[in-house]
Every structure is written in structure tokens, then in C-alpha cells.
């Protein structure tokens, strides 16, 4: 499948590399290809420069946000939450309209240091802001509640016996994303939380996730939902 990955951080690289390894035609989008390839700093949680990562992942094509979005039959979005709307505007609504848009971003605000707060919460969410700005995109929120390595290898924690959530207004888009999560990445338990307003809870889980990461001293974890009668 032709896939766009909007975002070149840890999430973008992890998902793009995995999808290319599965044989998909992946284009990863950035603000400025030359600047990205020339960058020498290594971001928090990144292991290497983007250029070093790309040298080992040459099956992934690097392009502008707009060119990547144009290429994608399905578009993944993982940019800095504070800049997500700017990044998606750069993609161009015409390159997102009618497409399944998979939003992984979180509205984390690091302006007061660590731990981050949320720039939008309670009665709204970043996902809803994105859906309002791009009403014709078939938006599905997912994967934002786990770290990048767990996204593509759920079996790496708890034998894959744990949940990933989806939310969105388009039932067919959620079915497509559920199939992608299961057949590409190996998720066994996908819990549909309903319409896109469920993204509020998915994003407001992040303060708890950050706290758990500190206590566990690792991002390699997830939660399992159990119900009466389940073991």
C-alpha cells in the first residue's frame, strides 16, 4: 500500500521502517528535506540522526509534508503536538480529503518543563481540533497511549495481552485502522472507544503514562483492560 508518514521523530521513523519492511511504499514527510538530512543534533529519545536512520532504511522515501501526504492512500500523523496543526496545514487539505488519517500525536506542552502539561483537554482534544480543521479527512486516533517500540511490537510487553484504543467518527475508517493494527503490527486487542470525542480521554491518559514511565524507569509497558469474568 502507498503510505504517508507525516513526522520524522522516533514515532515516524519506527512506523515508517516497520511498514517499509513489510513491503509498503512509504514516504516520510518533513518541513525541509535538506535541513533534515543535514541535521546533526539527536533529539530526546532518538538514537541517531535522521540521516543515519535513513541510511539504514533506504526503502523509505523522504519528501515534503505535502508530497508525502499526496503519495499516501493512508496517512499517519506523528508530529510535535504543539505544531501538529501547522504540520497538517503544510500537507494541504487537498492531500488529506477522503483519506484515512491516523493521528498518533499528543498535545504535550513542555513550556514549563517536565512533566509536560496538556495544551488542550477536558472539553476538547487535539484530535478534535484536527478533525474540525480537516472535516473531510477520515480521522482515527490510535497508538498515542504507547511508546514507539510498543506500537509496532506489542508482543514485546506482556505477551501482547494488552489493549490499544481507537476512536473516530468514520466506522469504515476505524475498521481499516483496526485491520492495519492487527495485520501489520500484531495487535490482538483493539478497543473501539467510539467517536472522536473519545480522544479526550486517550490524550488525558498521558500524564498517567508519563508518571508510570518514571516509576517503571522504562517506556516498555502498557495497560490491560479486564472485565468481570475475564481472567
Ligand X SMILES: NC(=O)c1ccc[n+]([C@@H]2O[C@H](COP(=O)([O-])OP(=O)(O)OC[C@H]3O[C@@H](n4cnc5c(N)ncnc54)[C@H](OP(=O)(O)O)[C@@H]3O)[C@@H](O)[C@H]2O)c1
Residues that bind ligand X (CB under 6 A): 7-12, 30-31, 36, 43, 45, 78-81, 83, 86-87, 104-106, 108, 144, 147-148
The CB-of-146 to ligand X minimum distance in angstroms stands at 6
The CB-of-229 to ligand X minimum distance in angstroms stands at 31
Measured CA to CA in angstroms, residue 13 lies from 22, 136, 158 at distances of 14, 27, 24
| Residues recorded for the chain | 231
For residue 99, the surrounding DSSP H or E stretch is none
The span from the CA of 71 to the CA of 63, in Å, is 10
Comparing CB distances to ligand X, the nearer of 100 and 104 is 104
- Alpha helices (H) along 60-170: 65-71, 84-91, 126-133, 148-152
The CB-of-152 to ligand X minimum distance in angstroms stands at 11
Comparing CB distances to ligand X, the nearer of 65 and 178 is 65
User: Which residue number is nearest to ligand X in terms of Cβ?
Assistant: 9
C-alpha grid cell, residue 12: 515516524
Comparing CB distances to ligand X, the nearer of 14 and 178 is 14
The span from the CA of 201 to the CA of 97, in Å, is 26
The CB-of-48 to ligand X minimum distance in angstroms stands at 14
Comparing CB distances to ligand X, the nearer of 170 and 203 is 203
The CB-of-219 to ligand X minimum distance in angstroms stands at 6
β 163-167/138-142 pair status? antiparallel
The CB-of-33 to ligand X minimum distance in angstroms stands at 9
Comparing CB distances to ligand X, the nearer of 34 and 231 is 34
Instruction: Tell me phi and psi for residue 183, to 5 degrees.
Output: -85, -25
The span from the CA of 183 to the CA of 187, in Å, is 8
Comparing CB distances to ligand X, the nearer of 147 and 178 is 147
Straight-line distance from the first to the last Cα atom of the chain, in angstroms, rounded to the nearest whole number:
37
Instruction: Tell me phi and psi for residue 8, to 5 degrees.
Output: -115, 15
Amino acid at each position: 500500500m502507498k503510505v504517508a508518514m507525516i513526522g520524522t521523530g522516533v514515532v515516524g521513523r519506527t512506523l515508517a521502517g516497520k511498514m517499509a519492511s513489510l513491503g509498503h511504499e512509504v514516504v516520510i514527510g518533513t518541513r525541509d528535506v535538506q535541513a533534515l538530512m543535514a541535521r546533526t543534533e539527536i533529539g530526546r529519545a532518538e538514537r541517531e540522526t535522521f540521516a543515519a536512520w535513513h541510511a539504514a532504511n533506504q526503502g523509505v522515501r523522504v519528501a515534503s509534508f505535502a508530497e508525502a501526504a499526496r503519495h499516501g492512500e493512508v496517512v499517519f500523523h506523528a508530529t510535535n503536538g504543539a505544531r501538529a496543526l501547522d504540520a497538517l496545514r503544510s500537507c494541504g487539505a487537498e492531500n488529506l480529503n477522503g483519506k484515512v488519517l491516523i493521528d498518533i500525536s499528543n498535545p504535550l506542552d513542555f513550556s514549563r518543563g517536565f512533566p509536560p502539561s496538556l495544551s488542550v483537554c477536558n472539553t476538547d482534544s487535539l484530535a478534535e481540533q484536527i478533525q474540525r480543521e480537516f472535516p473531510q479527512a477520515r480521522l482515527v486516533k490510535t497508538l498515542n497511549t504507547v511508546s514507539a517500540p510498543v506500537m509496532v511490537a506489542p508482543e514485546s510487553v506482556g505477551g501482547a495481552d494488552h489493549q490499544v484504543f481507537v476512536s473516530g467518527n468514520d466506522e469504515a475508517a476505524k475498521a481499516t485502522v483496526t485491520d492495519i493494527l492487527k495485520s501489520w503490527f500484531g495487535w490482538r486487542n483493539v478497543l473501539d472507544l467510539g467517536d472522536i470525542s473519545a480522544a479526550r480521554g486517550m490524550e488525558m491518559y498521558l500524564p498517567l503514562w508519563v508518571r508510570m514511565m518514571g516509576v517503571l524507569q522504562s517506556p516498555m509497558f502498557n495497560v490491560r483492560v479486564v472485565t468481570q469474568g475475564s481472567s
